[in-house]
Amino acid sequence: MNAWTAISACLISYLLGSIPFGYAVARARGVDIRTVGSGNIGATNVFRVLGKGPGILTFACDVLKGFAAAFGLPLAAAQWTDMSDRTVLSLLCMICVVAGHNWPVFLRFRGGKGIATSTGALLGLAPAAMLIGLAVWLVLFLTVRIVSIASMAAAAAAAAAAWILQATVADSNVLLPVALSLLAGIAVWRHKSNIQRLLNGTENRVEFGKKPGRGTEPERS
């Protein structure tokens, strides 16, 4: 793999991840999403503050940028160069696009938690692990109705699934479960304020049918 190709793809992935879709969607509604609800730019906070439509739009855009970075960029690089195996480049792009979402250069490095972007990256890179993580997320979300618990468990489940598949599938690459374990650790760390609220018993639950509310103060860590 050409070093310049890898550097260029990683830089583009980071910049793509840095596009703050949640911030942009909320701004289009006249709201600075960083100052309301949890203060997070991710889809969950957009959903809570602005409702279903903006929340789904934010989630879809964040998923799309993860998929474009982990699948689209390495595919394009393989066509432009003589690269025969794009697995390593895909993993690097996945990590960089999630880093861009979590620490976006366009918002002074204060971003989201990377769950939707990681989902998109896994869709292009490891769909089986993504589906297992998604199943865990759905079960926990519908059971406890706390997004942070579902998200952290889903990240851990995707990483565990990658390790299991790596151990059972011949010629599988150990770098995938290593990368997913890294992302799972980052996801848990990014949820540290949620963990504190869980310990305090003050973490928000999703109330189905409840109207969105903008709130007044962000819940900072």
Per-residue pLDDT of the chain (221 residues; tens, 9 = 90+): 678 888 999 999 999 999 999 999 999 999 999 999 888 999 999 998 999 999 999 999 999 999 999 999 999 888 877 666 788 999 999 999 999 999 999 999 999 999 999 999 999 999 999 999 999 999 999 999 999 999 999 999 999 999 998 888 766 778 999 999 999 999 999 999 999 999 999 888 877 666 665 554 444 33
Write the CA distances from 185 to 46, 100, 101, 155, integer angstroms. 24, 16, 16, 8
Q: Which pTM does this prediction carry?
A: 0.88
Spatial CB neighbours of 56, under 8 Å, sequence gap ≥ 6: 43, 47
Q: What's the chain's length in residues? A: 221
- Outline where DSSP puts E strands in the chain: none
List the Cα angle 55/159/91 in 5-degree steps: 80
Write the CA distances from 174 to 66, 118, 170, integer angstroms. 21, 18, 11
Which token pair is 58?
């934010």
CB 69 within 8 A of CB 99: no
The four Cα atoms 146, 149, 152, 157 give a dihedral, to 10 degrees, of -110
CB 43 within 8 A of CB 116: yes
